[in-house]
Each structure stands twice: as structure tokens, then as C-alpha cells.
Amino acid sequence: MDTAAKPSAVQPHNASSTEIGSIITGEKKVNPNPDPKGEPRKPTRTPDPKFKIFSGAANEPLAQDICAFLGIPLGQTKLTRFSDGEIYVQILENVRGGDIFVVQPTCHPVDHHLMQLLLMIDALKRASARRITTVIPYFGYARQDRKDKPRVPVSAKLVADLLTTAGADRALVVDLHAPQIQGFFNIPVDHLFGSPVLVDYFKKLELPNLTVVSPDAGGVERARFFAKKMEAALAIVDKRRTEMNVTEVMNVIGDVEGRSCLILDDIIDTAGTLVKTAQALVDAGAAKVYACASHAVLSGEAISRISKSALTELVVTNTIPLTEAGRNEPKIKVLSIAGLIARAIQSIHEETSVSKLFL
């Protein structure tokens, strides 16, 4: 009788594929010690042998950059699947008594990467790791954070509970869709923002007569904070969501005529709202329209829409790896957030303040 007791053969790793078979060894060569401000940074002390970082298959290059920044190797992990598709995880290093960090955004394919993260946490817990911190650069299911219709789940709360049940002791996340999601966790949460990296980039561009634009009323607080750091004006686009992933732009509130406009959002998914917002700003007389966001989900026809849009440039961080089409799109620029995350990881490990990293 075939019991399928052995996992299927290991396949070469490809972070953009739905296949997750790989052995992550930490041997990949990366740019040494990247820093969000562009300056190299060397480790200030001998690494603690109990301090280890592991990565799932979702964004291994980001984990490699984080490790290069900290001057430690990426932990070795075996990731493969049984022939029926079940995920198989094995930690290939001793983690007993260790302070362990697992880097894994829950990006496409979301369910595979989430399940992989849960299994890695469970494996580390059963291997007697002292503390397990989940580093989730992109927290999937965050857009489902309340009951806005009858008989729908609060998925963000469920995912938070799953992580805690699996054995996570704390979480490090970047730009949650709604900051109150921190309250869904029953463990400590450190909430980083991609704005230090984005603000630094746009300050160097020295855009004339800059107006920061929120694409909806829900993002006004984020846009106001960004505008203050940029010493820029603020505008809002009033929109109405007609159905899931479909919006209708209504009005531009604020002065944008003859000005450089910067649309600020946390997630760009299908890019429908982004493209319509950019066109509304151009129609209102904007000279140039830029956009930035922390998480480039870019699903469906997003790349094509951006390519044909009125946008001059879209700037995103590498919390999510881009597809080949995204990497080849000249309007899209990717900034590394590895240095910011690495400094937060180091602060957590050394029990020092993380708040200094908040912009």
C-alpha cells in the first residue's frame, strides 16, 4: 500500500512560483550590509550563536539582504512538498534555546506562504527555540479587518490567532493596512513603517510644488504624516468603491493645478484605484504625478495598467518580490527595506528600543 510517507524530490527554489520545494542555505551572494540610507553598515560585535534568522520561500532575497546587513548567515531550512501537495518543513540547524526570527511575507500564493510560515513556527517551537519572532513584511488578509457585510469573517484576527497558536512569541510587521490590527494579536507586535525609505528617496528628487495625495479618506492620516515630513501640501481624492477591487473616482479635494503630486498608499493590488486617481489629478491640472506604496501586490492587469497610466513613476519597497513583468516595467522603482527591518530585528534581539525606527 502506498502511504506517501516520503516527501517528494526537492525542486530548485523560485520565489515567484507556486512550487515551494527548496533548501534555503544562506549561501547566496548579496550586496554586503545594505542600509536604507544608502550607507554600508558593518556588524558592531561578534554575532550571538543563539541569534538566528530563517526564511520561508516567499521572499528569500529580502531575508538574505537582512542577514548581510547584520553580518550573519541565513539559517538552513529544507522546504518541499509531499506528492499530494502537503508542505514539508525541516529546520537543518540546532535552535535549542535560540532567539529565532522567521522572515516570511504572506504574499502570492498567500495560503501556501501562510501555511509554510505556521509550519516553520511549529517546527522551531518543537525544537525548543527560546523565543520565536515572526517577521512579516507584508501581512496578508489585513484588508479583511472588520465585519462590513453580513456573514463575513474577520480574517486578520483569525490569522493573528493562528500565528499565536502555532507558537510565535512576538511579531514584527511593516505597514499594516489598518494599525488597529496590532490589537488582534495576543503577543507583542512591533509595527514598522516604510516611510523612512520612501521619504528619503523623494526628498532627493526635490520635486517642485509638491502635494501629497491620499487616494481615499481612509489614508488621510498616513498622507498627512508623510506630507509633514516632506514639508508639502495635502490633497484627498474622494472615491466610492462599487464592488471588490473596483472603484469610481469622484472628486479631488485640494489644490493640485500646476503642482507635482505624490499619491501615497500602503498596498497597490490591481492598480485600478491608483490609475484612476492619477488620471483625476492630471485632469485637475497636475504637472506630474508620482506614486509610492510599501506593498506592491500588483495582481491581475496591474502592470499593464501602470504602464499605460499617467504616472511618471511608481516607487515601492521590496516587502513583496516583483514578478518578471514588474521588474521590467520602467515606471516601477523598487527600494530596499532590508536595513530598516534588520535594525528592528537587532533591537528586538538586544532588548533595546524599536521606537527610534519609527518616522
Backbone angles phi, psi at 177, to 5 degrees: -60, -35
Question: Looking at residue 21, what is its pLDDT?
Answer: 47
Task: Say how far apart CA 73 and CA 52 lie, in whole Å.
Answer: 8
Active site residues: 239
Question: Looking at residue 87, what is its pLDDT?
Answer: 96
Question: Looking at residue 100, what is its pLDDT?
Answer: 98
State pLDDT tens for residues 113-149. Answer: 999 999 999 999 999 999 999 999 999 999 999 998 8
Show the cell assigned to 298. 500588483
Question: Looking at residue 350, what is its pLDDT?
Answer: 94
Question: Looking at residue 292, what is its pLDDT?
Answer: 97
Question: Looking at residue 219, what is its pLDDT?
Answer: 86
- For the chain, what is the radius of gyration of the CA atoms? 21
Show the cell assigned to 136. 512579516
Bridge pairing between strands 233-243 and 246-253:
antiparallel
Show the cell assigned to 37. 540610507
Show the cell assigned to 346. 537587532
The residues of the chain scoring below 50 in pLDDT are: 1-21, 27-30, 32-33, 36-40, 42-43
